[in-house]
């Protein structure tokens, strides 16, 4: 299994809309397995394919870390069907390391996707998620659409957040 370098804010791949996965084959299975390894080594709870340089619609979610299941969930071509509510929670992102900021998102989501199972089989799923699970799913689907969590902030907050992050990356005090 391989571990991929995670693309960092400013990399153009993070701002592109990802293409649907047309066929789920051994390459897709191996890639998603390597994404899971990368996510866990980076201590993330979710990872989208653009974050490792591929603009295809695949996300991995660590169900163990979310304490809602076991293993890593792999969603292919996820589509948001319904959102409800409003929740504010601090978010971070492996592609903007060290930056955490309160982000407003729906508190509940219904998503349809193909789920790639550990044995390589695929099944159609409709996931109803709330709170942190919903947030992680929405955060990762945003990546597939070229949207980073800082893009969800009001303009003035986004400028402050990015300036603070850039200073910290240069080793300056935020």
Burial of residue 92, with CB atoms counted within 10 A of its CB: 0-12 exposed, 13-18 middle, 19 or more buried: middle
pLDDT score of 171 = 80
- For residues 30, 81, 9, 52, the Cα torsion angle rounded to the nearest 10 degrees is 0
Active site residue 140: yes
Is 150 contained in some domain? Answer: yes
Task: Please check whether residue 83 is in contact with residue 103, taking contact to mean a CB–CB distance below 8 angstroms.
Answer: no
Q: What is the pLDDT of residue 174?
A: 57
Q: Which residues, at least 6 apart from 154, have a Cβ–Cβ distance to it below 8 Å?
A: none
CATH number assigned to the domain comprising residue 113:
3.90.45.10
pLDDT digits 0-9 by tens, 136-147: 999 999 999 999
Q: What is the mean pLDDT of the chain?
A: 95
Residue 105 lies in a domain: yes
- Confidence tier at 53 by pLDDT (50, 70, 90): very high
Q: How many folded domains does the chain comprise?
A: 1
Question: pLDDT per residue over 14-49, tens digit each?
Answer: 999 999 999 999 999 999 999 999 999 999 999 999
C-alpha to C-alpha distances, 3 to 31, 42, 75, 104, 140, nearest whole angstrom: 10, 10, 19, 31, 19
In a domain, 2, yes or no: no
DSSP 78-121: EEEEEEE--EEEEE--TTSTT--EEEEE-SEEEEEEEEE-TTS-
Q: Is 5 among the domain residues?
A: no
pLDDT at site 169: 86
Q: Which of 2, 66, 75, 91 is nearest to 38 (CA)?
A: 2
Asked whether residue 112 is assigned to any structural domain, the reply reads yes
Task: Provide the residue range defining the domain that includes 145.
Answer: 12-169
Q: What is the CA radius of gyration of the chain?
A: 16
CB 84 within 8 A of CB 107: yes
> What pLDDT does residue 128 have?
97
Would you say residue 7 lies in a domain? no
Q: Has residue 1 been placed in a domain?
A: no
In a domain, 66, yes or no: yes
Which of 26, 115, 140, 157 is catalytic? The answer is 140
What proportion of the chain, given as a percentage, has pLDDT over 70? Answer: 98
């Amino acid at each position: 299994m391989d571990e991929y370098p995670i693309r960092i804010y400013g990399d153009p791949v993070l701002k592109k809309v990802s293409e649907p996965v047309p066929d789920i084959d051994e390459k897709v299975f191996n890639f998603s397995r390597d994404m899971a390894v990368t996510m866990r080594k980076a201590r993330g709870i979710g990872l989208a394919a653009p974050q490792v340089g591929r603009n295809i619609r695949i996300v991995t979610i660590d169900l163990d870390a979310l304490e809602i299941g076991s293993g890593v969930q792999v969603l292919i071509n996820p589509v948001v069907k319904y959102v409800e509510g409003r929740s504010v929670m601090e978010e971070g992102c492996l592609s903007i390391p060290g930056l955490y900021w309160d982000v407003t998102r729906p508190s509940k989501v219904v998503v349809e996707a193909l789920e790639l199972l550990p044995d390589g089989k695929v099944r159609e799923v409709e996931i109803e998620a709330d709170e942190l699970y919903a947030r992680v799913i929405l955060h990762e689907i945003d990546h597939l659409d070229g949207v980073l969590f800082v893009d969800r902030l009001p303009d003035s907050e986004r400028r402050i957040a990015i300036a603070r992050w850039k200073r910290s990356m240069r080793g300056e005090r935020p």
